[in-house]
Structure 1
Amino acid sequence: MLYILHPRDSVVENVDKMLNCGDPSYGGAMYGCTECGELKFVPFRCHSRFCPTCGNKYSIDRTTAMSFKIINVQHRHCVFTIAEELRPFFLKDRELLNCLFSAVRSIMLRMFHKDNKTECFTPGFILVLHTFGRDLKWNPHIHCLVSEGGLGNSGLWRSKTHFNYTFLRNAFQTALLNEISKHLDTSFKKVKASVYKNQKNGFYVYAKPNRCKPSAVIKYIGRYLGRPVIATSRIDKYDGENITFHYHRHEDNELITETIPALEFINRLIRHIPEKHFKMIRYYGIYARHRKSDKKLNHAISKEKHGILLSFNSWRECILTSFGYDPLTCPKCGNTMVFLELYHNHKRVPLDEMYEKVMAKAKGCRSPAFN
């Protein structure tokens, strides 16, 4: 049924991965209980961002990685949107999505550099591309998490709480239209003129203060920047032909329930699968640099806490958090099971010293299951 929609190669690859996620024939890991000898085979996952299970793990990993870069200053969440008549161009030619990043990057740096041309204050900001609206329709826009301040050439930090909305709207419109013009032929000139005529105040940019404190940065990033296209909790019903889901309309926050054919629902979802190797999250300013002077900045999360946060991102912790049970607890005696060996397509793969140590521990148990 999927091929009726003439899917892109990246769609076929991700859907195929998702359908085979957790299939034991693709291999997995064997765990054993050192107390009673109970064995448990855990199949490999697909690691596709489109998969409901693996996509959630991907979002958690990306959110944690972003939080490590955040410096200990106030941040602001900005949203850059485009004119509705431009959306089909990005759907037809996905290379144009790079123009969104380039346009936002240029105006954010320009806004800070205008404060002092000598110091050339540079903020730290993270750009995340969302191609979906709450109704799952194609609506590419950029979420930006930017520091309310920048680092100057002399190492001086200057706070910045006033964002010029008029500049952001007009500058973003001009920068984006110029970027698109570089990639399209002269036929785009008519569309460009029409956009300027219809959008006299520039493109809508949300940049109001939202109290994004460093102490709450992980929760904030996860909520606004790391979310998937649709959470399974928003899917209400499937009767074999139609799918019912709900969302809160952006304009007035009214609860909307929509029922559409399953094929249309699938079509809305798969169009948001990015091309292979396309980066949906990009770092700019001081978050993209690796200068010695930038290392002196105080980060919101200390290096000592990095290991603690990463430990919560493990497969075991994610299952425990999401489903409320420990996958490595022995179903017979309740003891914690130990890793034994890996299988790829049911072919045993020898491991290094860690494998030898684990096997030695298993063989030394009271149960004859490992002997």
Structure 2
Amino acid sequence: MVMAAMEATVQGIFIYGFESYQKTHGLSVDQRRAAQAIMLCQSEALGYEEWIFLNDKHTEQQNHSCRHRSCPRCHGALTHDWLERTQAQLLPCDHFHVIFTLPHELNALWQYNREWSSDHLFKASAETLKELLADTRYLGAEVGLLSALHTWGRTLSSHPHVHVLVTGGGLQGESWRPAKKDYLVPVGVIKAKFRGKWLTWLNHAYAAGALTLPPDWTLERWRQILRTIARKDWNVRIQGAYRHGHGVANYLSRYLRGGPIKDHRIVSASSERVTFRYRDHHDNHEKTLALTQEQFLSRVLWHVPVKGQHSVRYYGLYSTGAAHKRQEVRDQLGLPEQEPPATEPQSRQCPYCGHPLFHRVSVRRQISYLRNTACSNLGGTVQQGVQAAPLTQERPAQSQSTERIFLALPGAA
């Protein structure tokens, strides 16, 4: 039997396979919202903007994007803006790039405790670096940290880790103290402190009943995992020093939005399998991996972030309240803070005569109000520790679900 082909994009795969997938898989509210956003992105269902040229009545229409963090179609402008703001904020000094990775034995625990796990991965990595670099044996100064959470490996596997961009120096009192060239902190010291912090908080959370164990974990299994990870050498890597840190910021910007895979990596897609490219970090060769459609959807959905939880966080000299300290550093180093370049909005022009088009109408619809029309079947089991998305009745046209705004046009009757 020949299976029908589908568009080889993340959106095409979800449109083709998500309805049947959700009938047999437990999904959280966040995962359902992400799937709906991916399927509806840049479709007329979310509304549109319309422009007109009054002389010949030529009109153009552009559909709205979903702007969801897991959607690979519409993240470009937001990513560009974040990168420009971040590069303008970076201090004019060398930076180190430190990657903290949790042992793979904790992947199942992460799945049922996403918010707690990600919060404490940020906290453990930041406190480890801040405390060690405040020690006079290493630097003895307050540093700046920019941390970004990633949860996937190159094959979309479960691989929670956090990237931290660290200033190669810090404020000691009111004076700038540079780090030793190509040296931050002994990696063995960082590993031990990071592991100790995480395990301490993990045990306290379990004792307080703040953790949900996976349903197939017995008490003995839990204790065995604790013993195993307590003896392991946790994976922490230090890279640098990089001049100004702009290159690392650019690297991080590619993974802040758009989910674990972008469309250009997908080679082919059908109802039977999805094939995509990845680079094997062992030999640095580009390879392909074929997954069933079910496996592909599961891997993409596993990485949907918790709604409202920040995937980038700032500490020390890079925290929001440390602007005056950053200015002190710039004054001492003799370099003013850069302003992000102002981008003038591009006016839309008629493709035939080149004259400007006038914005005529804006129609906006919220994804949450379109649940019944876009994903009518929300059945299926719900995994432990998550709550099913509630069904909502479709709102009538011209209500909150559809906001239609006509704009006054010059010379219009």
Asked if the contact 1:77/1:144 (under 8 Å) is kept, the reply is yes
The CA distance in 1 between the partners of 2:80 and 2:351, in whole Å, is: 28
Deviations 1:143-189 (A, max 9, x none): 1111111112x211111132211111111111111122222249545
Tell me the equivalent position of 1:181.
203
* Secondary structure of 2:351 counterpart: coil
The CA distance in 2 between the partners of 1:217 and 1:139, in whole Å, is: 20
Most deviating of 233-242 and 220-229: 220-229
Deviations 1:33-62 (A, max 9, x none): 355431112222111112221234443333
The alpha carbon displacement at 1:133 in A equals: 0.2
The CA distance in 1 between the partners of 2:201 and 2:313, in whole Å, is: 18
Distance 1:254 1:57, change over 3 A: same
Asked if the contact 2:148/2:162 (under 8 Å) is kept, the reply is yes
Match of 2:53 among 33, 45, 48: 33
Q: Is residue 2:404 matched to residue 1:348?
A: yes
Distance 1:275 1:70, change over 3 A: same
The CA distance in 2 between the partners of 1:227 and 1:278, in whole Å, is: 16
Distance 1:293 1:37, change over 3 A: same
Amino acid at match of 1:52: P
- Structure 2 unaligned regions, length at least 5: 1-19, 209-218, 366-401
The CA distance in 1 between the partners of 2:152 and 2:236, in whole Å, is: 17
* Secondary structure of 2:303 counterpart: coil
Amino acid at match of 1:184: Y
The CA distance in 1 between the partners of 2:329 and 2:316, in whole Å, is: 14
Asked if the contact 2:152/2:260 (under 8 Å) is kept, the reply is yes
Tell me the equivalent position of 2:193.
171
The CA distance in 2 between the partners of 1:195 and 1:96, in whole Å, is: 15
RMSD (Å), alpha carbons: 2.9
Tell me the equivalent position of 2:102.
82
Match of 1:47 among 67, 80, 105: 67
Asked if the contact 2:268/2:276 (under 8 Å) is kept, the reply is yes
Tell me the equivalent position of 1:156.
175
The alpha carbon displacement at 1:74 in A equals: 1.0
Tell me the equivalent position of 1:18.
38
| Number of equivalenced pairs | 338
Tell me the equivalent position of 1:236.
267
The alpha carbon displacement at 1:217 in A equals: 5.9
Distance 1:122 1:306, change over 3 A: same
Higher fraction of helix: 1
The CA distance in 2 between the partners of 1:234 and 1:338, in whole Å, is: 38
The CA distance in 2 between the partners of 1:281 and 1:15, in whole Å, is: 22
* Secondary structure of 1:54 counterpart: coil
User: What are the residue-to-residue correspondences of 1:289-328 with 2, within 5 Å?
Assistant: 289-291=320-322, 292-298=324-330, 305-308=339-342, 311=343, 328=348
Tell me the equivalent position of 2:132.
111
The CA distance in 2 between the partners of 1:86 and 1:58, in whole Å, is: 32
User: What are the residue-to-residue correspondences of 1:76-155 with 2, within 5 Å?
Assistant: 76-94=96-114, 95-115=116-136, 121-152=141-172, 154-155=173-174
Asked if the contact 2:88/2:339 (under 8 Å) is kept, the reply is no
Deviations 1:79-138 (A, max 9, x none): 111222122111221122211111101110011111279x95111111111000001011
Amino acid at match of 2:196: T
Tell me the equivalent position of 1:286.
317
Distance 1:304 1:190, change over 3 A: closer
User: What are the residue-to-residue correspondences of 1:48-67 with 2, within 5 Å?
Assistant: 48-67=68-87
Most deviating of 341-350 and 46-55: 341-350
The CA distance in 1 between the partners of 2:122 and 2:129, in whole Å, is: 11
The CA distance in 1 between the partners of 2:242 and 2:255, in whole Å, is: 14
Match of 1:338 among 358, 374, 390: 358
Asked if the contact 1:60/1:226 (under 8 Å) is kept, the reply is no
The CA distance in 2 between the partners of 1:245 and 1:302, in whole Å, is: 45
Amino acid at match of 2:225: V
Amino acid at match of 2:96: R
Tell me the equivalent position of 1:203.
234
The CA distance in 2 between the partners of 1:337 and 1:178, in whole Å, is: 61
| TM-score for both structures, normalised by structure 1 | 0.81
Most deviating of 123-132 and 187-196: 187-196
Most deviating of 74-83 and 130-139: 74-83
The CA distance in 2 between the partners of 1:263 and 1:283, in whole Å, is: 37
- Structure 1 unaligned regions, length at least 5: 317-325, 364-369
* Secondary structure of 1:184 counterpart: helix
Tell me the equivalent position of 2:286.
255
The alpha carbon displacement at 1:247 in A equals: 0.8
The alpha carbon displacement at 1:223 in A equals: 4.6
Asked if the contact 2:274/2:291 (under 8 Å) is kept, the reply is yes
Amino acid at match of 1:46: C
